[in-house]
């Protein structure tokens, strides 16, 4: 007896197995058809999904391309508006390089709005909004403007110069003497051809006490200080002692016979004070109108008698003022009255003689 299992013969696909009832055969065929349709649908769905993904990626790529194009256009527009803004409002140009655009974004938004014709910001409206920006409020809160004014005076700075300097001063932490020196450096800054960048501020500085006191010191020695020396001392390149020492040395060179008095701390104004009073009284003029550095009056302390220069005595000075017609003593009321008295005395003498 053979142990080999009987071979099972499967019916062709779509055909019912032999021995099944007709009902079973129909059910089997329906199941096979359903399986075939399901596979076809899955394939169609997969294909459709693949097509959809392809379209999505293509759309995303186009979207990215458009985004890049818009970004490039935006950057180009930004570059163009910044150039235009700087040209029209050069006083703010420095801010594009010195300010943090992220920290002070509202400043640059305002700049963009100003240059945008759709916004139509007037200059007054722009100035008003500028004072409300984060940068301006920060500067105002620092009180640095008031500190600068207290050090160098309230000056007429050129457009944008003060804002830029204040911004730098706040960032560098300058104050007191350093703030003063740095402010004057900015005031006296020059371009490559030697012209002042802030001519209005320079003109104003030359009228301030800070500036004039050095000229007044020089006048005490009958001299004038060059503008360059005053600028150097105001900007910290020279000291007050340097100025005073230089004036004393120059005075001693010109008035060698007064060197000992100058070394003792006397100025030429000190040495001529009494002569000035005598001249004012004799010439009947206010003391402030007598300029002892004038060569005619300077003779009081630098009289050349043929043996060398020396100071006159007050008596000699009085006689010189009365006898030298250049001083005009003969036109004073004193001279007129003296002439009358002399004339009267002469008349009386004649009368007594007859």
Query: Residue 250's closest CA among 241, 260, 259, 261?
Result: 259
pLDDT at 254: 94
Which residues have CB under 8 Å from 256's CB, separation 6+?
Answer: 309
* pLDDT at position 250: 95
Identify the residue with better confidence: 311 or 71: 311
Reported as a pLDDT band with limits 50, 70 and 90, residue 1 is: very low
Residue 36's pLDDT is: 79
- The mean-pLDDT minimum among 40-44, 134-138, 192-196 falls in 40-44
Count of domains observed in the chain: 2
More confidently predicted of 345 and 116: 116
Whether pLDDT at 40 is above 90: no
Domain presence at residue 223: no
**Residue 81 counted as domain residue:** yes
For residue 325, the enclosing domain spans 267-343
**pTM given for the model:** 0.63
Give the residue-averaged pLDDT of 71-89: 80
* C-alpha separations of 17 from 9, 21, 241 in Å: 9, 9, 126
Q: Which range among 32-41, 161-170, 275-284 shows the weakest confidence by mean pLDDT?
A: 32-41
Q: Is residue 30 part of a domain?
A: no
Name the residue among 211, 224, 145, 218 with its Cα closest to residue 184: 211
Domain membership flag for residue 69: no
Instruction: Check residue 347 and give its pLDDT.
Output: 43
Given a cut of 70, whether residue 299 has pLDDT beyond it is yes
The pLDDT tens digits of the residues spanning 84-126 come to 899 989 889 999 989 888 999 999 999 999 988 777 789 899 9
The yes-or-no verdict on residue 72 having pLDDT over 80 is no
Q: Can you tell me which residue has the tokens 């142990």?
A: 3
Among the candidates 98, 121, 142, a domain finishes at 142
Looking at 85, 113, 142, which one is the last position of a domain? 142
| Structure tokens that stand for 196 in this block | 């002042």
Domain closes at, from 92, 120, 142: 142
Cβ neighbours of residue 326 closer than 8 Å, sequence gap 6 or more: 296
Q: Is the pLDDT of residue 3 over 60?
A: no
- pLDDT of res. 78: 63
* In-domain check, residue 112: yes
Residue 152 contacts residue 166 (beta carbons within 8 Å): no
Q: Which two tokens stand for residue 295?
A: 């060569």
When mean pLDDT is compared across 41-50, 68-77, 325-334, 338-347, the lowest value belongs to: 338-347
28 within some domain: no
Question: Per the domain annotation, does 331 fall within a domain?
Answer: yes
């Amino acid at each position: 007896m053979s142990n080999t299992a009987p071979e099972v013969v499967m019916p062709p696909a779509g055909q019912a197995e032999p021995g099944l009832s007709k009902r079973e055969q129909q059910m089997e065929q329906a199941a096979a058809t359903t399986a075939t349709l399901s596979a076809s649908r899955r394939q169609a769905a997969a294909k459709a999904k693949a097509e959809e993904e392809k379209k999505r990626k293509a759309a995303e790529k186009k979207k990215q391309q458009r985004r890049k194009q818009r970004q490039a256009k935006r950057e180009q527009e930004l570059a163009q508006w910044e150039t235009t803004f700087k040209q029209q409002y050069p006083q703010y140009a420095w801010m594009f390089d010195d300010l943090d655009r992220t920290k002070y974004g509202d400043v640059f938004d305002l700049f963009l709005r100003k240059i945008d014709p759709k916004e139509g910001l007037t200059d007054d409206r722009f100035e008003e909004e500028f004072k409300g920006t984060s940068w301006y409020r920060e500067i105002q809160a620092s009180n640095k403007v008031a500190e600068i004014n207290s050090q160098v005076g309230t000056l007429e700075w050129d457009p944008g110069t003060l804002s830029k300097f204040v911004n730098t001063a706040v960032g560098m932490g300058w104050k007191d003497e350093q703030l003063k020196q740095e402010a004057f450096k900015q005031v006296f800054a020059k371009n490559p051809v030697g012209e002042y960048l802030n001519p209005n501020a320079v003109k104003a500085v030359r009228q301030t006490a800070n500036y004039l006191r050095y000229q007044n010191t020089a006048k005490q020695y009958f001299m004038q200080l060059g503008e360059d020396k005053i600028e150097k001392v105001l900007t910290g390149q020279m000291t007050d002692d340097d100025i005073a020492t230089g004036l004393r040395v120059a005075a001693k060179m010109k008035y060698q016979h007064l060197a000992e008095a100058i070394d003792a701390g006397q100025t030429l104004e000190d040495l001529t004070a009494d002569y000035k009073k005598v001249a004012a009284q004799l010439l009947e003029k206010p003391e402030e109108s007598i300029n002892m550095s004038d060569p005619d009056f300077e003779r009081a302390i630098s009289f050349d008698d043929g043996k060398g220069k020396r100071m006159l005595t007050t008596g000699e000075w009085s006689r010189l003022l009365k006898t030298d017609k250049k001083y005009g003593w003969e036109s004073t009321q004193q001279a007129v009255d003296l002439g009358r008295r002399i004339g009267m005395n002469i008349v009386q003498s004649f009368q007594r003689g007859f």
